[in-house]
Amino acid sequence: MQNKPNKTEKLQKLVDIIKDVEVAMMTTIEDDGCMRSRPMRAVQTNPNGEIWFFTGYESGKSHEIQHDSHVNLSYAKPSDEVYVSISGRAYLSKDKAKIDELWSPTQKAWFPQGKDDPNIGLIRVEVEKAEYWDAPNSTMIQLYGMAKATLTGESAKTGDNQKINLK
Amino acid sequence: MQNKPNKTEKLQKLVDIIKDVEVAMMTTIEDDGCMRSRPMRAVQTNPNGEIWFFTGYESGKSHEIQHDSHVNLSYAKPSDEVYVSISGRAYLSKDKAKIDELWSPTQKAWFPQGKDDPNIGLIRVEVEKAEYWDAPNSTMIQLYGMAKATLTGESAKTGDNQKINLK
């Protein structure tokens, strides 16, 4: 029977994977129900279950998340056979203090006028649940309720996946 | 001004990327609107815009696509800075002739009873539109209407992406 990592290890492993892979495919839902994804690089990943991205305030994805806040963030690193699915809710923000905190010169490629660019915006993703697949066992590890910070335990399921509730 | 690949080249490039990356993250919508993704390896990618996968007939994703057929397939190869988003519709099938055609011994890991495993099923994704991002220019190439086979041209947009209609 395989070793069962504890919940702190699983959460840390998830955060490590996200930071290693760096680029997420963020999937949103258009008004007609069609699902689109695009590569996005997070600027901050917080242990409390928030992931932050810069975005054009007037953009397809901004409109989509204002219409339906459900998003999926998938991370894939085929060379390591590592895959992550994060189910969450995305919120658009123009919070100046947070923009200041997260700004770096690399953002100038998208916001030539800098932090005060009229089109600068942020997407805050609140993580509701997460699953990850990790070679070589193709074991699926599931983490639920990451948006809330208190950890509670739950016994592992039988079979080849494990579930953890984070409440 | 950058070179503009013609539509046949773009379509071929998209198919080449999909075949090279191999593993898609397939995102589906749960009954409550939550979006989940999981790694899936296609067993056939057709130029007419159909992509086929094996699946457990009784499985979370099967239920989800029967409830809402919209799916997104994202392909990511961070080492090459290549990303693809495919918007489409997914349909569940138990077609015996197609199962026979697509079967290979590698599937035994999931269907121990072989082609006649009671839980064996197929997902057929019909591609409606596709976008891909390719280093080093981070140019977004968009292909629309891939489910239909006749190609028509449309002039490129200004800026850093190109659109093509495939009708």
**Site from A20, A72, A125 to mutate, B interface, most B CB atoms within 10 angstroms:** A72
pLDDT for residue B147: 30
Q: What is the mean pLDDT of residues B106-131?
A: 90
Q: Which residue of A has its CA nearest to B26?
A: A74
Length of chain B in residues, anyone? 167
CA distance B94 to B123: 9
Q: What is the mean pLDDT of residues B104-117?
A: 89
Q: What is the mean pLDDT of residues A71-92?
A: 91
CA distance B109 to A138: 12
pLDDT for residue A33: 93
Contacts of A38 in chain B (CB under 8 A): 83, 85, 131, 133
Of A34, A76, A128, the CB nearest to B25: A76
Query: Quick one: pLDDT band at residue A86, thresholds 50, 70, 90?
Result: very high
Q: Which two tokens stand for residue B2?
A: 């950058």
pLDDT for residue A88: 94
**DSSP assignment letter at B87:** E
Contacts of B85 in chain A (CB under 8 A): 25, 27, 36-38
**DSSP assignment letter at A155:** P
Q: What is the mean pLDDT of residues A109-124?
A: 92
Q: What is the mean pLDDT of residues B20-25?
A: 90
* pTM, to two decimals: 0.81
Q: Which residue bears the tokens 């390591």?
A: A80
CA distance A129 to A125: 12
Query: Quick one: pLDDT band at residue A60, thresholds 50, 70, 90?
Result: confident
Cβ distance of B128 and A34 shorter than 8 Å: yes
Cβ atoms of A152 and A163 closer than 8 Å:
no
Kindly list the residues of chain B whose beta carbon comes within 8 Å of any beta carbon in chain A. Answer: 21-23, 25, 27, 29, 33-39, 68, 70-72, 74-79, 83, 85, 87, 128-129, 131, 133
Q: What is the mean pLDDT of residues B86-111?
A: 93
Kindly list the residues of chain A whose beta carbon comes within 8 Å of any beta carbon in chain B. Answer: 21-23, 25, 27, 29, 33-39, 68, 70-72, 74-79, 83, 85, 87, 128-129, 131, 133
Higher pLDDT, B71 or A110: B71
The answer, yes or no, to whether residue B8 has pLDDT greater than 60, is yes
Cβ distance of B71 and A29 shorter than 8 Å: no
pLDDT for residue B135: 61
Cβ atoms of A120 and A93 closer than 8 Å:
no
Cβ atoms of B166 and B148 closer than 8 Å:
yes
CA distance A29 to A6: 34
Higher pLDDT, B1 or A146: B1
Query: Quick one: pLDDT band at residue A4, thresholds 50, 70, 90?
Result: low
The answer, yes or no, to whether residue A125 has pLDDT greater than 80, is yes
Question: What mean pLDDT value characterizes chain B?
Answer: 78
The answer, yes or no, to whether residue A75 has pLDDT greater than 60, is yes
Instruction: Encode pLDDT of A24-42 as tens digits.
Output: 999 999 999 999 999 999 9
State percent of chain B over pLDDT 70. Answer: 75
Contacts of A33 in chain B (CB under 8 A): 68, 70
